Structure 1
Amino acid sequence: MKLRPIAIHLPQFHPFPENDEWWGKGFTEWTNVTKAKPLFENHYQPHLPSDLGFYDLRLEEARIAQELLAKQYGIYGFCYYHYWFNGKRLMHEPIDRKLKNPKEDLPFMLCWANENWTRRWDGNDQEVLIEQKYSDQDNEDHIDFLLPILMDDRYIRVNNKPVIVIYKPNILPNMQETIKCWREKAKAAGLELYICHMVFSYQKGWDHLVEGFDAAIDFEPFGIRRKSVFQEIRESNKKNKSGILNKVKNIFSEKETDNRYNRIPYKWMGEGLAHQKQFDFKLYPSLVPGWDNTSRRGTNPTLILEDSTPEYFGDWLSKIKSDFTPYSEEENFIFINAWNEWAEGNHLEPDHKFGTQYLESVKKLFLNQL
């Protein structure tokens, strides 16, 4: 049965007024990417784009180039992050312009990034820039806005039901009311919805299918199919601090006895994965080509996946492809996080170190089946 690889897409790569106000005139994600520096020996930073360059997603040429590259290497469609704050939208120019342009024909879906907008990217989680204020009226306004997009011919569907993803449903004050409202309003417009949410290993309650949703998406690198990366980091640090290196740290630097940058071997991510059949709900698998957000957070990264290579990525992708049996002919998604999270060191788009090799891994497994 055919599978549909979906690449998660960040529409941050263009200037807009709020970024000018919060981060400085002309800020885009490229600002963070280009300032990154290596923190230790053989640390791969900065990640710099090759084939597509430092694009501006307001430009039709840039968006079409992305779509052509995705098609060339077997990506079925993009899952765009959608930023909605009580009618206020952010980073919407790329998708708005795509909707008006029939030449941009790559299939797509939306994922509502329903968190507060904070300075978390640079490590300051407490400073809220735009707050989410949930309400019954906002539920209605939001789905009313979304319905014309969901009806677009390019929108990705399951059995003619548009697929929409909620990033973190557990932070909604009444998630059942939200999805009930959405389904009822969509039904009145002649649509049924296929509603998914992400699942995470790092917080209790985000590791199962929430009632009322159709399916969940494993959100790597914080997925639920293996031990949590944060548990692995804690255990690694504990071993280092209690081991022989700690006893002779007058000889070795603290850097050598403590994993201060939360480093994990990338190869570990694709090992010891729980099988799909172990989950009693519909769970779409995912993987990452890498992760290293030091360009956003400096010396306080969330996580660094060390020594990612196209070969290791291909092995991981092959494992989840072989393990995954679609739930029906159209419930057949594998998610790749991400297409262009450059400031997380997490991108399929070509860079100066590996070129198109990560994309070649996707092409090898998927292109001929589309």
Structure 2
Amino acid sequence: MTTPPHVGAPRSTPNQRHLAFYLPQFHPIAENDEWWGPGFTEWVNVAKARPLFHGHRQPHLPGELGFYDLRLAETRAAQAELAAAHGIDGFIYYHYWFGGRRLLERPFDSVRASGEPDLPFALCWANEAWTRAWDGHTREVLMSQDYGDDRAHARWLAEAFADPRYIRVDGKPIFLVYRASRLPDARRTTDVLREEAERAGVGPLFLARVESFTDERSDPAALGFDAAVEFAPDWKVVNGGLTRRAVSAARRLFPSRRPWQTRNYQDLVAGMQAKPAVDHLRFPCVTPRWDNSPRRGRNGFVLTGDTPERYRDWVAWAARTAPATPGGESLVFVNAWNEWGEGAHLEPCRERGRAFLQAHRDGRAAAGDPGRTQP
């Protein structure tokens, strides 16, 4: 097999951007009030977390930004300032669209309407059902993923793509889909997205599927996408090829075993760095840490041994090896800016302050790219 020129080529380029996934679940909404209790936000899970074993770092409590509310413009401005100062060029907002109904939309809508902050942004459609188990599987479904009319969705998206801050790759607005394989007709969806973007005058799109689960690893072109985006942690790496569903089934079969799972952070890094090259364009993803026990309790998954130094080295590796698009641009993704309920956050915490933010900036500099912010 001939390796395409864009795969695995070490590079350090001023055209590289580092983009962090951004969770908007830090403000109350009526639906969460009904499902989880009045005033529920992600902070409820974060604050109630407790250690499950000796040396388990919980709870992760926020540092200088505090238990913020994303309805406040001051909070969003402070986040953007921190991100830009530490090598993060933009946020990838999770976008929740259920057949025409949106949830957790207020922070993004406020950013669009106000024009502030000026940090670039893009959208990732988190096209999973919402369940009480927080895992996207259809156990007790709170909000089903009714795909509805692709064209109505595409027309709404085209308005967002037109924002001058919206991130473009090779001159095209980038749009991510978290579970591309779940689309009823992925080719039709991607065709409609492209048609409506052209009709609205925002030009051709750059569509990327996220390798969120082990069934999201095929060539993205077959589904109408231009590229793939890794997701860290890669469950195939950390579970030795087992899917998260298979691990959950094993826990039910063997309830006497330790209910939570732990893996070493450095083993994850080594495994993700050793993944074989692919024939298609696939951008790397890094994570500073992972611990979803605040959401999943004793069914959680915990990475141990994470340090800012190890994260810095992983960022440097990703920056050096990230592939280039046909237009010569390069992307590195971060999971995540503020996934506090999964322990994956660059935002400062009480225990380590800005250590992981500074590690990201230092890792990028070590690769020869000090970083900059541009749409």
TM-score, length of structure 1 as denominator length: 0.87
Pick from 203, 209, 223 the counterpart of residue 197 of structure 1.
Answer: 209
Tell me if 1:180 matches 2:179: no
CA distance in 1, matches of 2:242, 2:130: 27
Q: Deviations over 1:77-121 (max 9, x none)?
A: 000000001111100100000001123100000000011111122
1:214-363 mapped onto 2 (5 Å cutoff): 214-222=226-234, 228-231=237-240, 258-274=257-273, 278-301=277-300, 303-329=301-327, 331-363=329-361
Tell me if 1:24 matches 2:37: yes
CA pair 269-277 structure 1, distance change in 2 beyond 3 A: closer
Whose RCO is larger (CA < 8 A, sep 6+)? 2
CA distance in 1, matches of 2:330, 2:275: 13
CA pair 14-201 structure 1, distance change in 2 beyond 3 A: closer
CA pair 201-94 structure 1, distance change in 2 beyond 3 A: closer
1:36-55 mapped onto 2 (5 Å cutoff): 36-55=49-68
The RMSD of aligned alpha carbons is 2.2
CA distance in 2, matches of 1:47, 1:111: 25
Structure ID, larger Rg: 1
Q: Aligned with 2:299: secondary structure?
A: coil
Listed as ranges, the gaps of 5+ residues in structure 2 are 1-12, 248-254
Q: Deviations over 1:134-159 (max 9, x none)?
A: 24xx1011011111110000000012
Give 1:260 deviation, angstroms.
3.3
Structure 2 residue aligned with 1:107: 120
Q: Aligned with 1:177: secondary structure?
A: helix
Give 1:200 deviation, angstroms.
4.0
Q: Deviations over 1:293-323 (max 9, x none)?
A: 111111111x210121111111211222222
**CA contact under 8 A between 2:170 and 2:325: conserved in structure 1?**
no
Q: Deviations over 1:274-305 (max 9, x none)?
A: 5688211000000111111111111111x210
Quick one: which amino acid aligns to residue 103 of structure 1? Answer: E
TM-score, length of structure 2 as denominator length: 0.86
**CA contact under 8 A between 2:93 and 2:124: conserved in structure 1?**
yes
CA distance in 2, matches of 1:207, 1:350: 36
Q: Aligned with 2:95: secondary structure?
A: strand
Give 1:33 deviation, angstroms.
0.2
Q: Which moved more, 1:116-125 or 1:326-335?
A: 116-125
Quick one: which amino acid aligns to residue 314 of structure 2? Answer: W
CA pair 122-174 structure 1, distance change in 2 beyond 3 A: closer
Q: For this pair of structures, how many residues does the alignment match?
A: 343
Quick one: which amino acid aligns to residue 41 of structure 1? Answer: H
**CA contact under 8 A between 2:126 and 2:177: conserved in structure 1?**
yes
CA distance in 2, matches of 1:26, 1:113: 23
Give 1:207 deviation, angstroms.
4.4
Q: Aligned with 1:350: secondary structure?
A: coil
**CA contact under 8 A between 2:169 and 2:329: conserved in structure 1?**
yes
**CA contact under 8 A between 2:220 and 2:280: conserved in structure 1?**
yes
CA distance in 2, matches of 1:123, 1:192: 31
CA pair 181-123 structure 1, distance change in 2 beyond 3 A: closer
Quick one: which amino acid aligns to residue 304 of structure 1? Answer: V
Give 1:195 deviation, angstroms.
0.6
Structure 1 residue aligned with 2:9: none
CA distance in 2, matches of 1:214, 1:51: 39
Q: Aligned with 1:270: secondary structure?
A: helix
CA distance in 2, matches of 1:196, 1:337: 16
Q: Aligned with 2:303: secondary structure?
A: strand
Q: Aligned with 1:31: secondary structure?
A: helix
Quick one: which amino acid aligns to residue 181 of structure 1? Answer: V
CA distance in 2, matches of 1:157, 1:46: 37
**CA contact under 8 A between 2:283 and 2:323: conserved in structure 1?**
no
Tell me if 1:60 matches 2:73: yes
CA pair 364-328 structure 1, distance change in 2 beyond 3 A: farther
Q: Aligned with 1:126: secondary structure?
A: coil
Listed as ranges, the gaps of 5+ residues in structure 1 are 239-253
Quick one: which amino acid aligns to residue 143 of structure 1? Answer: A
**CA contact under 8 A between 1:144 and 1:185: conserved in structure 2?**
yes
**CA contact under 8 A between 2:237 and 2:271: conserved in structure 1?**
no
CA distance in 2, matches of 1:290, 1:259: 21
